[in-house]
Structure 1
C-alpha cells in the first residue's frame, strides 16, 4: 500500500506541529465553548431535544442497554470500527476485524499511524452514524430526531471515551503518551463543541462555533507581536516635552505693571 505509507510519512512529519497547534487551540476552543454556553443560557429551549437525548441515555443505560444490549461489547465494536475507518481514510487496507467479549482487534495492512491509534478517543463515530440515520428518516428536518439522536449518541460517545481512556491502553504507546496527552483535550473539545452546535443550530451553529474559535485565534495572533515588541522604544506617553526657545516666544507680563507710575 504505497499510498498508505506515504500518508503515514506525512502524518509522522506533521505529528509534533499538530501537537503544538492542538495546545495553542485549547484556549480558543474553550473560548468558543464558553460563548456557546452563554448563548444556550440566554435561549435554553434551543437545546431541549439534545438534553432530552442525553437524559434518555442516562435513564436507559443501566436498566436496559447494559443488560440487554451488552454495551461493553458495543463499546468495543465502535472502538474497533473507528480504528478501521481511519485506516481506510489514510490509505490502508483492513485485513481482519475481530470483536469478542474479551476485547477487539483490527489488523491493518501496511503498518499504522498515530491518527489510526488515537481516532477512537476523540472521533464521534456513533453520533455521526445516528445523525445520518436521523437525516434519512421521514420528516427528518421537521421532527426533533436530529437533536434526540445526537444527544443520545453524544452521551454514549463521552461515556465510551471516558471508559476507554486509561493508562493500560496500548494505543497511547503507539501514538506516544506525551503526544496523546497534548492532542486529545483539544480534539475532544472540538468534536463535542461541533456536534452540540449542530444539534442546536445545524450547519449555521457549527459555523458560529468555528467562527468564535477563529476570532480567538486572530486575537492571539495579533497579541503575540505586541508582546514581543513590548515595551516600545519611545512610548507616546513617555516622550520628552520639547524645549521652548525664549527668543521665539514674547515675554508675558504677570501681575500688575511695576513700570506704571
Structure 2
C-alpha cells in the first residue's frame, strides 16, 4: 500500500532522532514520576481504587484466570492485537491474525516498521480499552470504576510486557537491539505515568504529569546554553600604577613650600 510505504519511510528517517529524543526524555520522565509519587505520598487515598484494581488482578490471576485460560493465551491475544492496531494506524492492511495456545502471528501487507514491531512492549492496549469502557458507562468519570479498571488492566499490561520482553524476541531484531534499548524505557515510563496519573486525577492528572516533564525539559534546555557559555576564569586585573606628580616630587618646589610654611 502506498500510504503504508510512505509512512514506513518517514518512520525509518525519524528512527534514530526519536531514539535520541527518548534517551534525553528519560530524565524528565523520571522527574515527572517522582513528582507524581510525591503527590501520592501527600494524598495516598487518591490512589486507593487504582491499587485495589492491581491487587484484584494479583489475587485473581493464579486461582481463577490462569486456571481458566490454561496458558498465556490472553497475553498473546493482546500482544498480536497491538501489532495489528499499529499496522492499521501506519497505513497497512492486516492480512491474517492468528492466535493459538502456542503463540500468535500477524501478517501485514506492504512490509512493516519499527513502530509495529515495538508497539506491544510499551503501548497499554488493555488499559485503554477498559478506560474507554469505563468512560462510556453511566457516571463513569464520577464513580471509582475508572480507577479500578485501570489498576486491574495496568497490572495485566505490566505483567504481559515483563513476560514478553526477553532476549529471544524477534521483534527486537526487526526494530534493532540498540534502538529498542534506547526507546522502550522512556516509552514505558511515559505510558505508565500517564495512565496512573489519569487514574488518580483524571485529565487534570495527565496534564500535571506532562507539565512536570515539560518543566524538567525546560531546565535541560536552559542548562545547555549555560554550560556552553561557562565563564572562563581570567587573571585578576591589576590597578594601574599611580603617575607621579612632577610638581609634588620636585625638590625645589618642596623646599619653597617648606619656606612658605615658616
CA distance in 2, matches of 1:242, 1:4: 72
Aligned to 1:190: 190
| 2:112 counterpart of 1:115 | no
Q: Deviations over 1:73-105 (max 9, x none)?
A: 000000000000000000000000000011000
Aligned to 1:168: 168
Question: Are the equivalent residues in 2 in contact too, given 1:94–1:107 (CA < 8 A)?
Answer: yes
Aligned to 2:252: none
> How does the TM-score come out when normalised to structure 2?
0.90
Question: Are the equivalent residues in 2 in contact too, given 1:65–1:71 (CA < 8 A)?
Answer: no
Question: Are the equivalent residues in 2 in contact too, given 1:76–1:103 (CA < 8 A)?
Answer: yes
Q: Detail structure 1 runs of 4+ shifted over 6 Å in the superposition.
A: none
Aligned to 2:202: 202
Alignment gaps of 5+ in structure 2: 246-257
Q: 1:227 Cα deviation (Å)?
A: 1.2
Q: 1:10 Cα deviation (Å)?
A: 0.3
| 2:55 counterpart of 1:55 | yes
Question: Are the equivalent residues in 1 in contact too, given 2:71–2:101 (CA < 8 A)?
Answer: no
CA distance in 2, matches of 1:127, 1:88: 19
CA distance in 1, matches of 2:66, 2:51: 21
Q: 1:64 Cα deviation (Å)?
A: 0.5
CA distance in 1, matches of 2:66, 2:28: 37
Question: Number of matched residues?
Answer: 249
Question: Are the equivalent residues in 2 in contact too, given 1:87–1:93 (CA < 8 A)?
Answer: yes
- Return closer, same or farther for 1:168/1:144 CA change in 2, 3 Å cut-off: same
CA distance in 2, matches of 1:169, 1:106: 15
CA distance in 2, matches of 1:102, 1:5: 31
CA distance in 2, matches of 1:71, 1:139: 35
Flag the structure with larger Rg. 2
> How does the TM-score come out when normalised to structure 1?
0.90
Question: Are the equivalent residues in 2 in contact too, given 1:194–1:206 (CA < 8 A)?
Answer: yes
- Superposed CA RMSD in Å reads 2.0
Q: Deviations over 1:52-85 (max 9, x none)?
A: 0000001001000101134600000000000000
Question: Are the equivalent residues in 1 in contact too, given 2:57–2:156 (CA < 8 A)?
Answer: yes
Aligned to 1:240: 237
Aligned to 1:221: 221
CA distance in 2, matches of 1:216, 1:166: 31
Aligned to 1:20: 20
Q: 1:226 Cα deviation (Å)?
A: 1.2
Alignment gaps of 5+ in structure 1: 249-258
